[in-house]
Structures are given as C-alpha cells and as structure tokens.
Structure 1
C-alpha cells in the first residue's frame, strides 16, 4: 500500500524542489520498483517497456507543435491577438474567463483537447505582459477548460469519460446507464467552477510582473509576421487547413492524422514555403517535445505501478479499513483516487482500476449507483489537475512557457492542484451524501 504513496510523494517532492519533471518521474518509477522487490535493472526495464503506452499521444503532440508553428507563421494569430488586445485591454478577468470558455470548447464542441493551446497562447504572452496578467490564473483557466467539461458534460471527451465509468461499473456488477452519469458528476463539476472563480477573482486577481528572461526558449513574436496584422488570402487558407485537420481528426478519430493533414495542407496551400519545413519542425519540437517525452516516461511509471500490482493492493487495503458507507469511507476512497491519478497522470486510465475494486465494496455497504458513480468519477478526476505528468497541466505549460518564464510545477501544477482537487474532494463528498 505504501509503495504507491511513497513513489508518488517522491515525484511530487522532487518536482517541488524544481528537479526536472522527467527526472522526478524516472526516480519515482525506479523507487516503486525497488520497493516491490525488483532490482535496479528490472525496475528500469519495466519502466522502459511501459513507455510505449503513450507513443501515439507523444507523436501527436509533436505534430501538433509543428502545426502550431505553421499557423503562427501565417500571421493569423497576430490578427487574433490584435483584436483581443483592442477589445479586452485592461479587463484581465474577462480575458481569462474568455480563455477558459475557449478551452471548454476543446473538450466537447470541437474535440481537439490540448491542440489549441500551442496555437492560441504563445502569441498572447505579449498581451499578458502588457496587462500584467498573472499566468497562474491563465493556467487555472486552461486546466479548467481541459477538465471540467469532460467531468460534467457527456459529449466529446465527456462521452468517453462517462461511458468508461458506466461500462466499468456494469462489468463490475452495478448497472448505471451512461446517460445518468452526468447526474452523479454535476455536483463535483460545480466544485471545479467554484475553484475557477476563486483562482481568477481572488487568489490571482492582482497584477503580476514577470522578470525578463534573456534566454527565452521561444520568442512569442515568432508566432506572427512583422508589420500590421491583416486578414487576407493567407489567413483564409490557414483557416481552411485548420478545418481540414479538424475534419480528418474527428472522422478518423486520430490526432496524428489530423495534425499531419493540417501540416500537408499548409504546404499545399503555400501558406508555408516548403523550404521553411525544417525550421517549422525544429520549432515545433522545441514547443511540444518536452511534453511528449514527459507523457512517455509517465506511461512507464504507470506501467511499473500496474505490473507490480501495488495499485490493486493499495485500493483493496484502503477499502478494507474504510468500514461502512459514510463520509469517512468516501473520503478515504477519494484520497486513494487522488494518489493513483497523481502517479498515472490520467483520469481515463484511473477509472477502470478504481471501478473494479470500488463497485463490489459499494454494493456490499449499500451505496446507491449514482453515489458510487460519483465516487469513482470524482476519485478518477482528482489528481489529473495538479499532476506533473497530466496533459491537463502539461498542455497549459507548453503554451505559457513559450518564452521560458512559466514554471511547470509552481505556476501550473500547484495552482491547479489547490483550486481543483480541494473543491473536487469536498463536492465529491457532498455528492455521495445527497445521491
């Protein structure tokens, strides 16, 4: 039971000490292996074998980074930034809530997930600096948009999440139709809304100035052409390429083919000259390469935890000592979900693990189907916000750190952990009581 807790704490502690997240996850994975009796080589081998689990996601992120650089080269982001600056100058709260709203669309209406972040955010860094926007508020807004919609709304990625909860509960012996899952997840989702408003209008409301960084990773000005931004043929063709990429992604259910088709269309439409292809790829790797590798090594860490059986053992032990249906029992189960998801880095991967062990226990102590769904869904969602290995935090960092002045742990993970996991915990408890 303590293997999962200690290994996750190692990852979190090293990350908070500003050790690179890749090294933090690597050390945590090896620690988990050693604690289960494996030797150093076997622990590392198990971690390496598991890295392939996120290979498709990592490749899609790299291609999305290249596509984002091409869109920036077209100048269309310059038009957008100029328009936003004119309309929202001095209105920090409205600007941040607008970003949260756009992020929400990426999960349900236009299911592109984090693909929009490296396209939209880097060109806006100049706006944030001029308005003294606290980027931690922007990170909170982006993570909210990447997470809350799939928690509450059964459309797009939300349908996948809700359907996973329903199918895993049914396979474990508790019948809950997928169309009823939203009823269980609405109250926890409201908790996330509360967390968003606290982050934007209370915690990070005051202006914040960042020091200039002489060694910028990426200059935000590289995302737009020189001169006054204007909307012309190149920008129209860029929009056509974006729509083409979206259509391919949705029809083939593949981020890889979607991003690749967008890249090809940008060349075909002559928006980006073919001779600039190497530069676009190099800059795209700079933008998204780190995120892709973190996803790979996080998959390896998850593989160590799964293959050694320590996650199942932890959940079984926690359930065994919880007692009957009550607030204390629900609290223990939610905390177990938090720890597991912090390590694995994905809500979608945590739900099957929790459902297989939570459902029999909930049946035995008398939890209702909706209360059980709320426990599993909330326990799975907790930790996704705040995890160093989650794309809900890696995505916002990829955009906000384009100029090298936004720290992944202290400026994204810590703010999102505080403002979303705490409300999810308390509102999840309320859901189990009232449902």
Structure 2
C-alpha cells in the first residue's frame, strides 16, 4: 500500500500544493512520479498525460464559453441589480449574507447552469462589502463550494441529473438496476451532511478577519460606476433569455458546451451582446476562466496516468481484503474514494473507476441496494471539496482572490476539505449500516 503509485503521487501533489507550489506544475510532477513508479518511462507517462487531457476538453471548453456568458452579464445591469439587492437587504447581516451566497451558488447548478462562471462576476464587487463587515473569506469559500457541490450530490436536477445518471449507468453495467428516483431518495443524505458542514464552517469562521481595501481592475470599476440606471432593459432581457436557452440546451443535450454556445448565439441575435464587442467578450471570458480550464485539462491527464498505473485496482483489491465487515468495508471504500477523487479532482470521473469493484464488494458484505448507491455516490463525491485540482475549489478562489488576499490552498482547499469531507464520511458510515 505504501508503495502504491496512486497513493504516493496524490500525497506528492497535496504536499506541493500545501507548500504553495503552482497547482499545474504540482499535478504534472505528481503524474510523472506515478508513471515512473509504475514502471513506465517519462516519455510514455508524458504521452499518457497529454492524451488523457482530451477527456476534459469538453469541460474546459464549457468553462470558457460559460466565462463569456459571465462577461455578458457583467457588461449589463444584471450583476449590479443583484449586488445592490444583496447589499441593501444583507449589508449588516453577516451570517445571512454568507448563506445567501450559498443559495446563489446552488442556483448555478440547476436554475441557471453556468456553474462556476458566476463567481468572477458576483464575488469581486462584493469584496468591499465583505471587508467592511470583516467576514472571514474562508466562510465564503465554504458557502460557494457548498453551493457548487451539494446540489449535484443530492438533487437529480441540472448537473445533479448528470451525476445521478452516471451512478445509475455504472450500477447497471455492474448488474444492479436502479432508477434515478432510487438514487435521489438516498443521496439527499449527502446534501444534508454538507449542510451540517456549512453551518459548522460559518460558526467556526465567525470571528472578524481584517483585509486590506484594495482596488480591483480600474476599467471594471469604471464600467461598474458608470451604470446609473439599474433597471431591466431589452439588453438585460436578452441576456436572461440567453441564460434560459443555455439551461434548456444543456438539459436537452447534457452538454454544457452546447448550452453555452447557443446561449451566446441567442444573446448576440437579440442584442444581449453587441456584435462589435463579440471578440472582447470572448477574450475576457477566456481570461477569467483560462486557469481553471487548464487545471481541468491537466487533471484529466493526471487521471489517465493514475488509471494506467494499475494502482487504483490495487487499492480497491486491498480494500476488499481488509474490509472484514460492513463498517470496516464502508470506511475503506470511503477512504479509497477520497484518495482517488483528490487526485482526479472530479466526482463525475471517479464513479466509473470505483463502481466496477465496489458493487460486488458491497454485495459480498451484505449491503442493501440503497446503501450501495450511497457508498458509491459519497465515495465519488469525497475529495471534490478540498482537491486543489477541483473546480469546486478553483471557482471560489477565482473570485475571492481578485485582490490577491485569498490563498487557494489554505483559505479554500483546507477549510472545504475539513468541513465537508468529514460530515460526508460520518453521514455515509451511519446510513450505510442503517439502510
């Protein structure tokens, strides 16, 4: 176990990130280590890494297109209307403001499926309000990660429908036929566990924390100040229509990229985006989302390298041998899921890896179908919060670090890891035995 290439490479990635090493370079170094430890040459490992990046090409493209949607919103009055409403009603209510941010983040997973693209639009203008209230941004990071993750874990809507469908398909391919409603009737436990974690995080980070008042991008500030009439105009309605189109297409095709594309086209046709400013909108969308997109691409390559080492199968085999009983088996399965997802950075990509062995393991240990669903779903979800390569952590950092006062590792990854993974493990352990 201690010489397993997956274990050692993920540990290296975590250590490098904790030492504030660049995330992209940390993932590449960890992937190379995993390949070399498995007996492959550096050239073979690099080839696997590069070819594996194609697995996340659609996701990376989706984020760039969704970034363009975010820019379109920013160039309208919509962002100002939202910010004004939030500031007016919650300007002196620190706790409720944090929960409101979590609520907005939840909406980005289903009602307006732009995922993390709303963060660079909404959060930077609110930093001054956060600073005046002396809100610890670690609490905001937890609120954002909760909203980005809890809905898809627990609800069969939007991104959650995709997540639950992957669980359903992989259970079926391993001999267990369930419906989407069967999955949602169990996975709510994950959402409730995360809600407990969010409440604990808000309580733990309740003490005031002082930040410097730093100016953001001057051009963006000027654009923000020049908007004197905060009302819905044809442009704003066109943008709302584009968001509705993006939602509809995404739900119909299960493709965020197509949803983002047709949403942008709708905005262009109906005046939400000026034709002469298309290049500017696309360039700014690429700018705000490029780092996240590249990390996601590299994470796809890292996942391919981890799979090629054979180390994941070894981990699962060890889990099978050491299980002993239901409780021991659940602990080991959740631990392996946490380790794999921390490395891959994607709950969606972890399910097919684990289901192949976890389904027969659950059956051999006497777990019910409901408990099997819960263990596979939570094991895959573990690590998405806290992983340096996950969009659930990269997204919050992209907004909270707009003034360079928020650490990706220590202010986003570590808090979200502690306050969400621990409740998820506890909830899964308790209910997997009861169900």
TM-score in terms of structure 1 length: 0.92
Number of paired residues? 432
Q: Deviations over 1:330-389 (max 9, x none)?
A: 111110000001111111111121111011122222222222222111111111111111
Residue 313 of structure 1 corresponds to 314
2:110 and 2:78 mapped to 1: Cα distance? 24
1:371 aligned partner:
371
The question of whether the paired residues in 2 share the 8 Å contact of 1:153 and 1:159 is answered with yes
Structure 1 pair 367–258 and aligned structure 2 pair: CA distance change class (3 A): closer
What is aligned with 2:425?
A: 425
Query: In structure 2, how many angstroms separate the alpha carbons of the residues matched to 1:168 and 1:363?
Result: 15
Moved over 6 A (4+): none
**Contact residue 26 and residue 297 of structure 1 kept, 8 A:** yes
Per-residue CA deviation, residues 155-175 of structure 1 (Å, 9 max, x unaligned), is 332232223223322322334
Could you tell me whether the CA contact under 8 Å between 1:341 and 1:380 is conserved in 2? yes
Q: CA deviation at 1:238?
A: 3.0
The corresponding residue for 2:183 is 181
SS at match of 1:191: helix
Q: Map 1:65-104 onto structure 2 (within 5 A).
A: 65-104=67-106
Runs of at least 5 residues in structure 2 that lack an aligned partner in the other structure: none
Cα distance per residue 1:223-245 (max 9 Å; x no partner): 62525342142333333333343
Equivalent residue number for residue 210 of structure 2: 209
**1:280 maps onto 2:281 in alignment:** yes
Alpha-carbon shift at residue 154 of structure 1 (Å): 2.4
Aligned to 2:381: 381
In structure 1, distance between residues paired with 2:387 and 2:305:
17
* 1:32 alignment partner, one of 28, 31, 34: 34
Structure 2 counterpart of 1:240: 241
Larger mean Cα displacement after TM superposition, 139-148 or 259-268: 259-268
Which string of whole-angstrom CA distances, capped at 9 and with x for unpartnered residues, describes residues 363-416 of structure 1?
222222222222111111111111111121122222223333322212211111
Within a 5 Å distance, the mapping from 1:97-136 to structure 2 comes to 97-136=99-138
Residue 257 of structure 2 corresponds to residue 256 of structure 1: yes
Q: CA deviation at 1:218?
A: 8.3
1:157 is aligned to 159
Q: Which blocks of at least 5 consecutive residues in structure 1 are unaligned?
A: none
Alpha-carbon deviations, 1:64-92, whole Å to 9, x = none? 22221222122321222122111111111
Matched, 1:198 2:200: yes
2:146 corresponds in structure 1 to: 144
Deviation for aligned residue 1:192: 0.9
* TM-score, length-scaled by structure 2: 0.92
Alignment of 1:395-406 (within 5 A): 395-406=395-406
Structure 1 pair 237–108 and aligned structure 2 pair: CA distance change class (3 A): closer
The 3 A distance-change label for structure 1 pair 96 and 229 is farther
Per-residue Cα deviation, 1:307-342 (whole angstroms, up to 9, x for no partner): 22221121112221222x232221111100000011
- The verdict on how the C-alpha distance between 1:245 and 1:218 changes in structure 2, with shifts beyond 3 A counting, is farther
Q: Deviations over 1:29-85 (max 9, x none)?
A: 111001101122211111111111111111121122222122212232122212211
